[in-house]
Amino acid sequence: MTTTPQAVRRPSPRPRRRAAPPDPARALLPAAEPVRMLDEDGHRLPEQPDQPEPDAGTLREMYRRMVIGRRFDTQATALTKQGRLAVYPSARGQEACQVGAVLALRDNDWVFPTYRESMALVSRGIDPVEVLTLLRGDWHCGYDPGARRTAPQCTPLATQTIHAAGLAYGEARQGRDTVALAFIGDGATSEGDFHEGVNFAAVFRAPVVFFVQNNRYAISVPLSRQTAAPALAYKGIGYGVPSEQVDGNDPLAVLAVLGRAVAHARAGNGPYLVEAHTYRMEPHTNADDAGRYRDDAEVEAWTGRDPIARLETYLRAGGVLDDAAVAGIAAEAEALAADLRTRMQAEPQVHPLSLFDHVFAEPTSQLREQREMVRAELAAEEEA
């Protein structure tokens, strides 16, 4: 009797694995570590192909402005002790961020500063006395924002991010290649206005750079109590905004990263978020006691990362700076400080009727009525 052999079962072919789709968030991710081009002693680190080095002339000008900016900052701090300023928030230690942001922009671009950006405004060419007018209490803003393309310094946290996004969107709608740069502190990234501004800019592809100066403390609150994110730069990803983090005390890296961010926005690619890791050497303001929440060892450690010293070392090694040039820049800074002292000693002459100026572009009937009442009272006092 013969038997029919049973069919041999062959294993089913394994299904082919489909290639994983590209991760859309990868292009938005910042570097795992802050971008650096100089070490803490001012020596050049290995080349980073995607971070072109700024030219020598720009770096020399950055050094000049940082030295002048620090001297201005020191003088403004002294003016508070003399009663000439009501308050002053120092930016000493953040010179690379303050000056680098201004140098990355064109004259027709807009700046949206916080209360700590006095040094940046001086670097932008605004009269130092006009910059300090707000902090002396004479005006809400001492310069013409439209003429200087610089918004008034903003004291409420993060409200300037919405203003920057709106202006940038409006400029783009009118066919202009204007870029807006909004300065932001680390504490401001916890405010709702920050998230609204970034989200609006992303959705409408507004050409704005959100520049976060992470100086480690929101007044006395350390960064670890503000966020659990690996870095503040990651906050852009959730809104579809490309981001980068940079050593904020490395002048070369700050210029390179901000230059790329501004070019990205100007090319019509939408907003960009940059986080600079830096440190506020002075208290939050002259009214703050920083010793309550940080120790001297921490401050001393950051003193060794001084952005001015790092850039000076690098430029001297390259023959861009010498003793004569350094002395000349220091003398220029001292002359500015002396002029500032002299002019700030003069008591401001403010007429009561100026209270009604610049409230509205076109005064309302109520405002005109109130102004006339004050004018009449002043006239009556003169006649008495």
Catalytic positions: 280, 284, 293
Reading the block at residue 161, the tokens are 């991010």
The one-letter amino acid at 77: T
Contact 180, 200 (CB under 8 A): no
- Looking at residue 183, the DSSP 8-state letter turns out to be E
Tokens at 102, concatenated: 């201004």
- Unique residue bearing structure tokens 């089913």: 12
Q: Which residue has the tokens 């002294």?
A: 78
Please give the distance of CA 339 from its chain centroid, rounded to a whole number: 26
Query: Token pair of 188, please?
Result: 């401001």
Q: What is the DSSP letter of 83?
A: T
Nearest to 140 by CA among 129, 152, 128: 152
Give which of 324, 282, 303, 331 is closest to 67, Cα–Cα.
Answer: 331
- Which residues lie closer than 8 Å to 42 by C-beta, 6 or more apart? 309, 310, 311, 312, 313, 314, 317
Closest CA to 255 of 172, 314, 336, 299: 314
The answer to whether 71 and 118 are in contact (CB under 8 A) is: no
